[in-house]
Amino acid sequence: MKDGVLDEIDRKILRTLARDGRISNQKLAETVNLSPTPCWHRVKALEESGHIGNYAAVLDQRALGLPDTVIIEVTVDRHDDEIFQAFSDALAELPEVMEAYLLSGEYDYLIKVAVSGTEGYERFLRQKLYRLPGVKHTRSTFTLRCLKRAASVVP
């Protein structure tokens, strides 16, 4: 990486790490046609520049007993900083919430939640979501099947 611009080797490193974050430096170097030391230096530079933000294990929600994904649109009752902050902070504490976005448009938030069937979803709504500060209205959609899942964008 020179002056913050990724070259093709950097892109290969990022694509390989996106597929397998546990790959050894030796194997990564072989994959991108570098020797281990320059490969390690490039990975460190990519981490320091923020191109690599994190390494994580992707857990299987089905194996964890939460096979269903629900997309929930939420409208809050007031549009002020206090409500947005309180709602966002409380939402971040809910383990079922996999992703949450503040939106422009008809709804204020879009939330992706892992649940166990309709009973698990009802329990999440009644015991957690509806108790968060500022919730005025929700609209939910059960997903049928995941067509694509990526932990990050790949260059």
Tens of pLDDT, residue by residue over 39-87, are 999 999 999 999 999 999 889 999 999 999 999 999 999 899 999 999 9
- For tokens 């108790």, the residue is 131
Side-chain half-sphere CA neighbours of 108 within 13 A: 18
Pick from 111-115, 143-147, 151-155: least confident: 151-155
pLDDT at 95 over 80: yes
**pLDDT given for residue 150 in this prediction:** 86
Mean pLDDT (the chain, rounded): 94
pTM above threshold 0.75: yes
pLDDT at 1 over 90: no
